[in-house]
Amino acid sequence: MEYKFLGRSGLKVSPLCLGTMNFGPYTGEADSHKIMDAALDAGINFFDTANVYGGEKGPGVTEGIIGNWLEKGGRREKIVLATKVYGKMGSGVNEHRLSAYHIKKACEESLTRLKTDHIDLYQMHHIDRNTPWEEIYQAMEQLVREGKVLYIGSSNFAAWNIAEAVHIARHRNFLGIISEQSIYSLRNRNIELEVIPACRALGVGLIPWSPLGGGILCGVLEKAKEGRRTREQLQASVEKLRPQIEAYEKLCKEAGHSPADVALAWVLNNEAVTSPIIGPRTIDQLKENIKALEIKLSVEVLKKLDEIWPGPGNQAPEAYAW
């Protein structure tokens, strides 16, 4: 497996990142542990979670499952562990967003659930427009000084948010964010306008989430019996996008690859991408996702994919102006 530097940092991560959102809501703890073991054995060293993950079982459940896996020993030093802060963790008025108060409290609670003394990549799960950067970075710098956090990342930031974060960090002599986690797939290519160019220019690694388009790109026309693909919202999207999906799945069949493998291979084909997040519910899904690393899409297939799932056509402003 060929490891990549995460942004402008010296940290190397696997070209696939194990997402854990299914752990707890859709995958039990024992099976979640088996998936993490299998991922590590396959060479995946980048694990991503968030403090709010847990679904109906409640925030923190997923981190707890990971913590119990880490507690078995011999694992922590082999992975790059990423989690996130921002989401609502309780009923208190200060139990969400990015105030210094919440960042410190949330970090301590994540460390407890994860049963570790440090988080490798601590990501802001969303931009907080009500908290000044001076306050956010003061809290993050303190966590770095204490050794509780090594690197800072962002998620769901606009391009100008990323530029602002990098610029302000430089003035504070702080490394600042080294990665951005954005939604990106054949189905949703909006970040090609500005986020991807910003990441390239500023040395920020790109970690795409939902590279399978929320289930649309993984052979969804074959009726799923369990998991998130059974959601009514997804089925409604399938009917809306049926002509595109049918053309896509036909192209994948002609290319000799599963729809999920093609979707991942397409994201991996973008040089700006560091490590797309996969979210397997089973070990079989994990093994299937890993196959995408061996797929090289032809120029002809890439062109047809653009026709089925057109993007903006260029970065801004060329995409909409001369």
Contacts 24+ apart (CB under 8 A), 169-172: 169/137, 172/137, 172/141
Residue 212 inside a domain? The answer is: yes
Count of structural domains within the chain: 1
Spatial neighbors of 183 by CB under 8 A, at least 6 apart, are 156, 190, 191, 208, 209, 210
Q: In the predicted model, what is the mean pLDDT of the chain?
A: 96
Confidence of residue 291 (pLDDT cuts 50, 70, 90): very high
Write out the catalytic residue numbers. 53
Helix axes 259-268, 299-308, angle to 10 degrees: 100
Residue 316 inside a domain? The answer is: no
Residue 98 inside a domain? The answer is: yes
Q: What is the pLDDT of residue 212?
A: 97
Q: What is the pLDDT of residue 59?
A: 97
CATH number at residue 276: 3.20.20.100
Residue 3 inside a domain? The answer is: no
Q: How far is CA 229 from the centre of its chain?
A: 18
Q: Encode pLDDT of 161-176 as tens digits.
A: 999 999 999 999 999 9
Residue 61's identity, in one-letter code, is V
Q: Encode pLDDT of 222-249 as tens digits.
A: 755 555 555 688 888 899 999 999 999 9
Confidence of residue 126 (pLDDT cuts 50, 70, 90): very high
Residue 320 inside a domain? The answer is: no
Question: At which residue do the structure tokens 């989401």 appear?
Answer: 87
Task: Give CA angle at 102 (62, 59), nearest 5°.
Answer: 20
Q: Encode pLDDT of 141-161 as tens digits.
A: 999 999 999 999 999 999 999
Q: What is the pLDDT of residue 224?
A: 54
Residue 266 has pLDDT above 60, yes or no: yes
Residue 132's identity, in one-letter code, is P
285 Ramachandran zone, left/alpha/beta (phi>0; psi -120 to 50): alpha
Q: What is the pLDDT of residue 246?
A: 97
Confidence of residue 45 (pLDDT cuts 50, 70, 90): very high
Nearest partner of 202 among 173, 171, 176, judged by Cα: 176
Question: At which residue do the structure tokens 């054949």 appear?
Answer: 186
Residue 63 inside a domain? The answer is: yes
Q: What is the pLDDT of residue 234?
A: 86
Q: What is the pLDDT of residue 229?
A: 53
The residue-averaged pLDDT of 89-110 equals: 98
For residue 239, the enclosing domain spans 12-308
Question: At which residue do the structure tokens 């966590």 appear?
Answer: 143
Confidence of residue 73 (pLDDT cuts 50, 70, 90): very high
Beta partners for residue 123, in sequence order: 84, 153
HEC string of the chain equals CCCEECCCCCCEECCCEEECCCECCCECHHHHHHHHHHHHHCCCCEEECCCCCCHHHCCCHHHHHHHHHHCCCCCHHHCEEEEEECCCCCCCCCCCCCCHHHHHHHHHHHHHHHCCCCEEEEEECCCCCCCCHHHHHHHHHHHHHCCCEEEEEEECCCHHHHHHHHHHHHHCCCCCEEEEEEECCCCCCHHHCCHHHHHHHHCCEEEEECCCHHHCCCCCCCCCCCCHHHCHHHHHHHHHHHHHHHHHHHHHHHHCCCHHHHHHHHHHCCCCECCCEECCCCHHHHHHHHHHHHCCCCHHHHHHHHHHCCCCCCCCCCCCCC
Residue 49 inside a domain? The answer is: yes
Residue 321 inside a domain? The answer is: no
The structure's pTM equals 0.96
Give the C-alpha separation, 85 to 104, whole Å. Answer: 10
Give the phi and the psi of residue 45 in degrees, each rounded to 5: -110, 5
